[in-house]
Amino acid sequence: MPVFPFQCKARHNRAMANVTELDVNGTRRRIDADAGRTLLSVLRDDLDLTGTKYGCGEGQCWGCTVLIDGQPARSCLTKVGAAAGKRIVTIEGLAPEGKLHRMQEAFLEADAMQCGYCTAGMILGAVALLRSNPNPSDAEIVSGMNGHICRCGTYPRIIRAIHAAAKKGGRA
Amino acid sequence: MRRRDFFTVLGGGIVVLLVDDASAQQARPRGMGRQMPQDVAAWLHIGEDGVITACTGKVDVGQNSRTSLTAAVAEELRVPVSSVRFIMGDTDLTPFDGGTAGSQTTPMMWPQIRRAAATAREMLLDLAAQKWNVDRASISIANGKAASNGHTAGFGELTQGQKLTKTIASNVPLTPATEWKVAGTSVPKIAGREIVTGAHKYPSDIRRPGMLHGKVLYPPQFGAKLASLDPSAAQAIPGVKVVHEVLAAPRPGFGSDVVGVVAPDPETASKALAALRAEWTPAPSQPSSSDVYSYFKQTAEGGPASSDGLTTYTIAYLAHVPLEPRAAVAEWNNGKLTVWTGTQSPFGVRRELAEQFQLPEESVRVIMPDTGSGYGGKHQGDAALEAAILAKAAGRPVKRNWTREEEMTWAYFRPGAVIEVAGKANPDGVIAAWEFHNYNAGSAALRTPYHVPNAREQFHQTKSPLRQGSYRCLAATANNFVRESYMDELAHSIGMDPLAFRLKNESTDERLRAVIEAAAERFGWANRKKTPNHGFGMAAGFEKGGHVATCVEVAVTNGAVKVVRVVEAFECGAVVNPEHLRNQVEGAISMGLGGALFERVEFAAGKISTNRLSRYRVPRFADMPAIESVLLDRKDLTSAGAGECPIIGIAPAVGNAIFDATGRRVRSLPMAPQGLGRAAGGAG
């Protein structure tokens, strides 16, 4: 499991300034959020980017995964203050101009979902995995993705989708 | 929607209303009849623009009913899947439905939708014959067009200027499975693109103008009663409103008080909730997860059966853990309540809300966006009720999202059980005696599918300390686990191969025999080779119109159980969508592994301690075996549902494989919560 990279030490520091701008999906978005709020809440409630999902609030399911400077991060544990000034990519930013990312295509082709609630986090986690390991083995996919929960149990299909996306190559 | 409203809402064209005798006999809410005729089970509209809209009260929680039902319309109307729009689970727009449960969408709704579409096709033939003044038999319908001797017309052209309604009975002839072109194929998931792009709006994603966020104060233990409440500190927070309602009918465990807060954002709502000062009167003592099994026996109605000579198995309570916790957004407009919520029973939730607010049911609209799973766990309307109470008090729309902890505490659970069993096999393999008692879990699959004269099988109603309810296959998982484990015990008692023993006692159910043989063949049961620490097990059963057989290989190392390989043969009549069926079978195996090996709800004194994902282990990537599914496509049989039955084989097959590997019979679910060494309950 990747190490959670953004610990906000000033979690309860009420004096912490508000965050006024976030770089999300290549766009600077104006916000006015207490720096101690979770990135998940700011994305969903302030910016209406609801593709990022709440699953557990304790970093156990990775359903809320976003990319921060290319690294997978659990937005439910990330304070928005720690994400300010960094490049954030959510599922909505993965298919600019409507062209699906190869990982999105691979998930569709493998029917790697049922209810689809975990899918956004899965896809972003898988995108990050391929960036660090362009051609992972089954075991490497399992260890790289083991933090993610799919309660519908489509894990074998997700593994298949990641292999298929790796084979497609191209844009990571 | 009233009949005449179809054309107001959807424009001119043709409408088919399908009358269904069976669904007319389902339990119906009071006050029905002023709107949708009671006996309409489904309807379909073809507009003047050619757009096809079909409608059902069923919902999609990931089982892909939206896709299968859309394919049904496309099949019978001879149109591309992309030209069909499905409205599901909206109480203002869809016919009454008793709930998406019991694997009934495929056997009941799927043929009904096909009948509606087949009738619309016949109406289009009539319209084309009229329009061109040609013999009806000369007209063919394909690819969304009617054609006859040089004439062609799209559906919209035919329905132009029409306002035709036809009410049909449910006995219209259907295209036989052997001639299907769209049905029976792997039509891709309808909302797939919206899901992989994050565009699909789940219930928890709904946002309304001016919406506030709500939280609700729950008792510190089930049944504790609110003694006093000081809301002043919460109320002092800017933007916060505290709401206190007393329900006419108390919710079990929650009590009658609904104390909540609303605030402009979820964080402020959380702070306000934490600032409420409440005192509680503790509930009377309640059984814990460690003594609940004796509690079941003690509280059995009419007293427990004699345990003499019976072998005891135990089944833990399970949590559904849908990845999307319960969520609802409620909005009041001029006395009408609209709620968006994730529920398997939108009409049931409408009734709950109408009763709470003393409204006629047509003043309540429940809309169910395709939801982040259910597994039988989302029938009740708690989040909807809370959102509606808060929204009414606030005078603004309110979103109420349950937290993970709330979901894993205040939802209902799959029932725990004690099951006691006895039997005897003659040396030739014939089962001579069979006795089976289920305490608390339920009677699904209580009866053995094997041929046993004078079988005694009984379900004993008991008290449950936890709120319990439906789950994939409900009691069938518990009953199959025990029956198929004990079948293995009997086979071993006479030194007979478990496969041969099952086939010997299989009665007249050729479908059960077929899946057992198919699974055994693909698995290579006859040629399996024992190696140290590895074991093989099998199980079979049927439920909800499906037949299943499961073979597994496990490896047991220092008490740690790893399921290495699973082969499952499944047959549910004519296959509706092979890829989605495989997905259901694989998913059921994956989910079933959790209940088989490590999932269990732990509780004491009315508190759930397994109330987080860090405390309740669900299956993950690393738990997955190699899974092979074998689908038997019986085009001669009615299609049955597949969201439930495939889960019942995995637990007993794993248990039997553990026995094969270790010589140890584990008689409790889960079997290896922390490895086999500390397996709880009736481990032998």
Mean pLDDT of B207-217: 98
Give the separation between CA B195 and CA A120, rounded to whole angstroms. 7
Which pLDDT value is given to residue B20? 65
B322 and A145 within 8 Å at the Cβ level: the answer is no
Helix (H, G, I), strand (E, B) or coil at B565: strand
Do A103 and A123 touch, CB atoms closer than 8 A?
Answer: yes
Which pLDDT value is given to residue B680? 37
Which residues on chain B are in Cβ contact (under 8 Å) with A139? none
A61 and B265 within 8 Å at the Cβ level: the answer is no
Domain stops at, among B354, B377, B401: B401
Give the separation between CA B417 and CA B464, rounded to whole angstroms. 10
User: Which region among B24-28, B104-108, B191-195 has the lowest average model confidence (pLDDT)?
Assistant: B24-28
Q: Is residue B406 part of a domain?
A: no
Report how many domains make up chain B: 3
Q: Looking at chain A, which residues constitute the CATH 3.10.20.30 domain(s)?
A: 18-93
- In the structure, how many helices (H) and strands (E) does chain B have? 17, 28
Which of B63, B189, B196 has the most A C-beta neighbours within 10 Å, making it the best mutation to test the interface with A?
Answer: B196
> Does B190 share its domain with B217?
no
Q: Is residue B435 part of a domain?
A: yes
What is the CB neighbour count within 10 angstroms for residue B336? 13
Which pLDDT value is given to residue B249? 87
Domain stops at, among B196, B231, B250: B196
Which pLDDT value is given to residue B424? 96
pTM: 0.94
With a cut of 70, say whether residue B406 has pLDDT above it: yes
Give tens-digit pLDDT for B389-399. 999 999 999 99
Give tens-digit pLDDT for B53-96. 999 999 999 999 999 999 999 999 999 999 999 999 999 999 88
User: Which CATH number covers residue B442?
Assistant: 3.30.365.10
> Does B499 share its domain with B589?
yes
Report the residue from A52, A108, A157 with minimal CB separation from B193: A108
Cis peptide before B670 (omega within 30 of 0): yes
> Does B16 share its domain with B161?
yes
A153 and B590 within 8 Å at the Cβ level: the answer is yes
What is the CB neighbour count within 10 angstroms for residue B252? 12
> Does B162 share its domain with B237?
no
Query: What confidence category does residue B619 fall into, taking pLDDT thresholds of 50, 70 and 90?
Result: very high
CB of B588 less than 8 A from some CB of A: yes
Strand order across the beta sheet in which B84-88 lies: B84-88, B52-56, B40-47, B13-19, B163-168
Which pLDDT value is given to residue B454? 87
Which residues on chain A are in Cβ contact (under 8 Å) with B207? 48, 50
Which residues on chain A are in Cβ contact (under 8 Å) with B205? 44, 50
> Does B52 share its domain with B184?
yes
Do A112 and A157 touch, CB atoms closer than 8 A?
Answer: yes
Report the residue from A100, A119, A151 with minimal CB separation from B321: A151
Query: What confidence category does residue B29 fall into, taking pLDDT thresholds of 50, 70 and 90?
Result: very low
Backbone CA torsion sign across B64, B65, B67, B68: positive
- Beta-carbon contacts of residue B258 (< 8 Å; ≥ 6 apart): B216, B243, B244, B245, B246, B247, B385, B386, B389
Query: What confidence category does residue B307 fall into, taking pLDDT thresholds of 50, 70 and 90?
Result: confident
Smallest CA-to-CA distance from B657 within B676, B644, B673 is with B676
CB of A96 less than 8 A from some CB of B: no
Q: Looking at chain A, which residues constitute the CATH 1.10.150.120 domain(s)?
A: 97-168
Mean pLDDT of B229-238: 98
> Does B568 share its domain with B669?
yes
A100 and B199 within 8 Å at the Cβ level: the answer is no
Report the residue from B197, B403, B587 with minimal CB separation from A91: B197
Q: Is residue B348 part of a domain?
A: yes
Report the residue from A111, A115, A123 with minimal CB separation from B372: A115
CB of B613 less than 8 A from some CB of A: yes
Give the separation between CA B441 and CA B475, rounded to whole angstroms. 5
> B residues 516-555 near A, CB within 8 Å?
none
Which of A117, A118, A141, A149 has the most B C-beta neighbours within 10 Å, making it the best mutation to test the interface with B?
Answer: A117
Give tens-digit pLDDT for B329-377. 999 999 999 999 999 999 999 999 999 999 999 999 999 999 999 999 9
H runs (alpha helix) in chain A = 39-41, 80-83, 102-109, 119-132, 138-145, 155-168
Do B611 and B77 touch, CB atoms closer than 8 A?
Answer: no
Residue in chain A lying closest to B207 (CA): A48
CB of A95 less than 8 A from some CB of B: yes
Which residues on chain B are in Cβ contact (under 8 Å) with A91? 196-198
Judge residue B445's burial from the number of C-beta atoms within 10 Å of its C-beta, 0-12 exposed, 13-18 middle, 19 or more buried. Answer: buried
> Does B350 share its domain with B429?
no
Do B93 and B87 touch, CB atoms closer than 8 A?
Answer: yes
Number of A–B residue contacts, CB under 8 Å? 172
> Does B362 share its domain with B450?
no
B188 and A108 within 8 Å at the Cβ level: the answer is yes
Average pLDDT of every residue of chain B: 93
* Beta strands B52-56 and B84-88, pairing class: parallel
Q: Which residues pair with B142 in a beta bridge?
A: B145
**What percentage of residues in chain B have a pLDDT greater than 90?**
85
Query: What confidence category does residue B4 fall into, taking pLDDT thresholds of 50, 70 and 90?
Result: low
Q: Is residue B295 part of a domain?
A: no
Query: What confidence category does residue B3 fall into, taking pLDDT thresholds of 50, 70 and 90?
Result: low
Report the residue from A100, A151, A159 with minimal CB separation from B196: A100
Smallest CA-to-CA distance from B128 within B137, B139, B120 is with B139
Q: Which long-range contacts (CB under 8 A, 24 or more apart) does A29-32 make?
A: A31/A80
DSSP for B236-282, written as a single string? TSTT-EEEEEEEEEEETTTEEEEEEEEESSHHHHHHHHHH-EEEEEP
CATH of A18-93, one of 3.10.20.30, 3.40.50.20, 3.30.1360.120, 3.30.930.10: 3.10.20.30
With a cut of 80, say whether residue B36 has pLDDT above it: no
Which pLDDT value is given to residue B677? 76
Give tens-digit pLDDT for B237-271. 999 999 999 998 899 899 999 999 999 999 999 99
Name the residue range of residue B98's domain. Answer: 5-196
Q: Is residue B294 part of a domain?
A: no
With a cut of 70, say whether residue B445 has pLDDT above it: yes
Which residues on chain B are in Cβ contact (under 8 Å) with A37? 267
Helix (H, G, I), strand (E, B) or coil at B157: helix
Which residues on chain B are in Cβ contact (under 8 Å) with A146? 620-622
CATH of A97-168, one of 3.40.50.460, 1.10.150.120, 3.40.47.10, 1.10.40.30: 1.10.150.120
> Does B70 share its domain with B52?
yes
Which pLDDT value is given to residue A171? 57
Residue ranges, chain A, pLDDT below 50: 1-14
With a cut of 50, say whether residue B276 has pLDDT above it: yes
Give the separation between CA A111 and CA B192, rounded to whole angstroms. 8
Do B325 and B340 touch, CB atoms closer than 8 A?
Answer: no
Smallest CA-to-CA distance from B598 within B645, B548, B563, B640 is with B563
Which residues on chain B are in Cβ contact (under 8 Å) with A150? 323, 590
Q: How far is CA B23 from CA B37, B167, B350, in A?
A: 12, 15, 18
Q: How far is CA B485 from CA B35, B261, B420, B491, B562, in A?
A: 51, 50, 12, 10, 18
With a cut of 70, say whether residue B1 has pLDDT above it: no
B265 and A45 within 8 Å at the Cβ level: the answer is yes
Which pLDDT value is given to residue A9? 42
Query: What confidence category does residue B39 fall into, taking pLDDT thresholds of 50, 70 and 90?
Result: low
Q: CA of A85 to nearest chain B CA: how many angstroms apart?
A: 23
> Does B394 share its domain with B430?
no
Do B384 and B327 touch, CB atoms closer than 8 A?
Answer: no
> Does B122 share its domain with B147?
yes
Average pLDDT of every residue of chain A: 91
Mean pLDDT of B37-53: 83
> Does B146 share its domain with B265?
no
Q: Which residues pair with B607 in a beta bridge?
A: B604
